[in-house]
Amino acid sequence: MANYLKLYPIPEDYRFHRGGQISQGLLAYETWGTLNEDQSNALLILTGLSADSHAARHGEHDTAGWWDYMIGPGKAIDTDQWFVICASSLGSCKGSTGPCSPNPKTGQPYRFDFPDLCLEDIANTSVLLCQSLGIEQLQAVIGPSMGGMSALALILNHKNYTRHLVHIASGMASPPFSTAIRSLQREAILKDENFNQGYYSATNWPEEGMKFARKIGMLSYRSAKEWNDRFPRSLKKVPQHPFGIEFPVESYLEHHANQFIHKFDPISYLYLSRAMDWFNGHQYGTPRGANPLNDISLHSALVVGAETDLLFPVDLQRELHHLLLDSGVDSELIVTDSIQGHDAFLVDQQTFSQLVGDYLSASAV
Amino acid sequence: MANYLKLYPIPEDYRFHRGGQISQGLLAYETWGTLNEDQSNALLILTGLSADSHAARHGEHDTAGWWDYMIGPGKAIDTDQWFVICASSLGSCKGSTGPCSPNPKTGQPYRFDFPDLCLEDIANTSVLLCQSLGIEQLQAVIGPSMGGMSALALILNHKNYTRHLVHIASGMASPPFSTAIRSLQREAILKDENFNQGYYSATNWPEEGMKFARKIGMLSYRSAKEWNDRFPRSLKKVPQHPFGIEFPVESYLEHHANQFIHKFDPISYLYLSRAMDWFNGHQYGTPRGANPLNDISLHSALVVGAETDLLFPVDLQRELHHLLLDSGVDSELIVTDSIQGHDAFLVDQQTFSQLVGDYLSASAV
């Protein structure tokens, strides 16, 4: 994987959406396929909160990526046809610069001195990266989950930079229910003594906070319906102590949360989580209340949601679809009956391969 | 209110469903209306987890009860007609004996020495209380939320003790999603240092754990839809410190959770919460897999759910309704479009007054 990781130096004069600058900032990114001569086959993938640039393997000996089933030669996002770019988000901890990166001025991690991060910053730096690769306009930006909101941030701030949009399991803004879940996740991390206002270390890690945050998040990633099938009613364990783990769903949460603890940086998690809650595409409407997508120049859009998604319920995709239609974009809305909730785009391979593949094929005509 | 609180001594030989006994156990209860001569007008209300015996005021100078709109002279549960009984659940901390009550043998709170509590114990001791009042058979048992499962426990263990059932926002067993939420609530309390394995005190209270548990619970009490209406997208506050309270939904959670901290006993909360997850009405089917309600002798049932309920989704009420029909009970299923989620029975007064009132009037014929 390391062979394929590339680094893009963010221009020193990049100003964050809410103010602030960083020096020697980097975006870690990967690409698949070949950019054609007229630079007309570029697809940018903007990721969910905890994903990285390794969206797919680069060859048979490479490790699998987080969207491996979707991207590759002959797959829905066909790398024989498309030049695909995926970066770790600015602010993340997967190679790109974030609050856990060293501040060149001090040699110490930025921690809370990292500028306030918005999804607009993820979008803006992604556009700078694409431009540095010689891409004047993207064929499409593809964003699932947080990436869907980052894609809207891109379109709202760079109105001509992409011809098409694939927007999956996301929306114009986080509903209060999702903000509440993320707020509790942030609270769990912040209140862990080991978090220590950002002054944690590898040997003094806010493990309990990260674990609990992950468990809370997991309430919203799948669906109650999927869990009904997954966890039998019969009890599984005799708890080791009063109120110890006993129910199958408790073991599941414990197992997956334990795996997550050291996979993500706590302060990066806070920054990205808050960026999701800050994003509000509606604020772009001028005058206030007008359709914020009125003056974008998108050719078409595919908006996808799953009926069982708790985190970005289908109301949000319907809303976006109607705003797109209203602004003259040829938008298609697909609501799947996938039972995997918010995670459907990662799990329901057949459904999502089909609809993304069909859309990209049609858009290429 | 204190004037109306009565105490029922639980028989010394009462054995808990999972084993164990207590001495000098009490149920705190209240009654409204007058038992008629042939004891045919008694209604038993079984409560939700955090409710107490004070379901309604006893007169104009009394404090309001938790179901005040529902119960009283001329109301849906008309105390001019019915003799209404409501007890604080066994194991609770509202006057009835629970794990925070002193163990007469030691003078110290039971803490984890309190016997394992099941909803069957709440049902069984409620039946003993009603029998002590001279009631040979209830006209109806009415149970919202946890009380709905306790009502099923009553029916499954005392097959002839009630003629009618009003089952609201509940089900035959907790789905894994609800168990997950409650598991995280219990974890939040248990991991608070002040919980100290149950050895907390009024001055050393697990405030953080109780507060966080309440916030997690609140994710499931209303609905995402109601919150969309309640919390405007515009930001409300400038946070006092990085990642401090900023979003309207965060203030809401903080405010209500702060109010709850000292309203309920932490160890009682754990016991009742686990009892909900332990309950499984399906286990009563003999042979295994048979309709567990096959040999109950209920005349009729009203099963009510709200389309927006996340904690006890309407699938559960549909399942119960079909089991009741299959066992020959004249069951009516009503799914409301209340947007208040699980709390609809407390908030959507008009809808719930109407349907409970209509059902009880019809059952009296």
The pLDDT of residue B187: 98
Q: Are A52 and A2 in contact (CB under 8 A)?
A: no
Find out whether the peptide bond into A287 is cis, omega within 30 degrees of 0: yes
* Radius of gyration of chain B from its Cα atoms, rounded to whole angstroms: 20
Where b means 16+ CB within 10 Å and e means fewer, B51-89 reads bbbbbbbbeeeeeebbbbbbbbeebbbbbebbbbbbbbb
Mean pLDDT over B193-221 rounds to 97
Catalytic residues of A, by residue number, are: 145, 309, 342
* Contact between chains at A224 and B274 (C-beta distance less than 8 A): no
C-alpha A351/C-alpha A303 separation (Å) is 14
CB pairs under 8 A between A and B: 110
Mean pLDDT over B99-120 rounds to 97
3-state secondary structure of B297: coil
Tokens coding B60: 């104009």
Block residue for tokens 């995670």: A343
Q: Which residue in B175, B183, B315 is closest to A227 by CB distance?
A: B175
Predicted confidence (pLDDT) at residue A241 exceeds the cutoff of 90 = no
Block residue for tokens 């394929």: A4
Angle at B313 between CA B310 and CA B315, to 5 degrees: 160
Measured in whole angstroms, the distance separating CA A259 from the mean position of its chain's CA atoms is 19
Chain A residues close to B285, C-beta within 8 Å? none
Q: What confidence tens digit (pLDDT) does each residue in B148-189 have?
A: 999 999 999 999 999 999 999 999 999 999 999 999 999 999
Share above pLDDT 90 across residues of chain A, in percent, rounded to a whole number: 94
Q: What confidence tens digit (pLDDT) does each residue in A66-111 have?
A: 999 999 999 999 999 999 999 999 999 999 999 999 999 999 999 9
Beta bridge partner(s), residue A305: A335
DSSP string, A32-59: ES---TTS--EEEE---TT--S--S-SS
Give the torsion sign (CA, A257, A263, A265, A271): negative
Tokens coding A122: 């993820």
DSSP string, A238-265: --SSTT-S-SHHHHHHHHHHHHHTTTS-
Told to judge if B54 belongs to the known catalytic residues of this protein, a careful annotator would answer no
Rounded to a whole number of angstroms, the distance from the CA of B364 to the nearest CA of chain A is 37
Interface of A with B (CB under 8 A): 112, 173, 175-177, 179-181, 183-184, 186-188, 190-191, 208, 212, 215-216, 218-219, 224-225, 227-228, 230-231, 233, 242-243, 247-250, 253, 270, 274, 277, 280, 282, 310, 313, 315
Label residue B1 by pLDDT band (50, 70, 90): very low
DSSP conformation class of B7? E
Tokens coding A6: 């590339």
DSSP string, A157-177: HSTTSEEEEEEES--SB--HH
Which of B190, B247, B340 to probe the A interface (max A CBs under 10 A)? B247
Q: Are B36 and B131 in contact (CB under 8 A)?
A: no
β-strand A300-306 against A162-168: which pairing, if any?
parallel
Rounded to a whole number of angstroms, the distance from the CA of A336 to the nearest CA of chain B is 20
Give backbone dihedrals phi and psi of A243, rounded to 5 degrees, phi first: 65, 20
Share above pLDDT 70 across residues of chain B, in percent, rounded to a whole number: 98
Q: Are B306 and B340 in contact (CB under 8 A)?
A: yes
The pLDDT of residue B239: 87
C-alpha A77/C-alpha A80 separation (Å) is 9
Annotated binding-site residue? A343: yes
β-strand B77-78 against B83-87: which pairing, if any?
unpaired
Q: What confidence tens digit (pLDDT) does each residue in A54-66 have?
A: 999 999 999 999 9
The pLDDT of residue B102: 96
C-alpha A302/C-alpha A300 separation (Å) is 7
Label residue A198 by pLDDT band (50, 70, 90): very high
Block residue for tokens 């686990």: B274
Tokens coding A65: 């990526």
The pLDDT of residue B235: 64
Label residue B99 by pLDDT band (50, 70, 90): very high
Q: What confidence tens digit (pLDDT) does each residue in A299-345 have?
A: 999 999 999 999 999 999 999 999 999 999 999 999 999 999 999 99
Q: Which residue of B has its CA nearest to A178?
A: B224
Which of A233, A269, A283 to probe the B interface (max B CBs under 10 A)? A233
Predicted confidence (pLDDT) at residue A2 exceeds the cutoff of 60 = no
ipTM, 2 dp: 0.95
The pLDDT of residue A1: 45
Q: Which residue in B176, B227, B242 is closest to A175 by CB distance?
A: B227
Tokens coding B147: 């009380």
Where b means 16+ CB within 10 Å and e means fewer, B13-36 reads ebebbeeeebeebbbbbbbbbebe
Mean pLDDT over B280-286 rounds to 95
Mean pLDDT over B60-76 rounds to 97
The pLDDT of residue A235: 64
- CATH numbers and ranges of domains, chain A: 2-175+280-363 (3.40.50.1820), 178-274 (1.10.1740.110)
Mean pLDDT over B66-72 rounds to 98
Annotated binding-site residue? A62: no
Told to judge if B229 belongs to the known catalytic residues of this protein, a careful annotator would answer no
Which of A210, A247, A255 to probe the B interface (max B CBs under 10 A)? A247
The mean predicted confidence, pLDDT, of chain A is: 96
Q: What confidence tens digit (pLDDT) does each residue in A177-197 have?
A: 999 999 999 999 999 999 999
Q: What confidence tens digit (pLDDT) does each residue in A202-236 have?
A: 999 999 999 999 999 999 999 999 999 999 877 67
B72 dihedral zone (left: phi>0; alpha: psi -120 to 50; beta): left
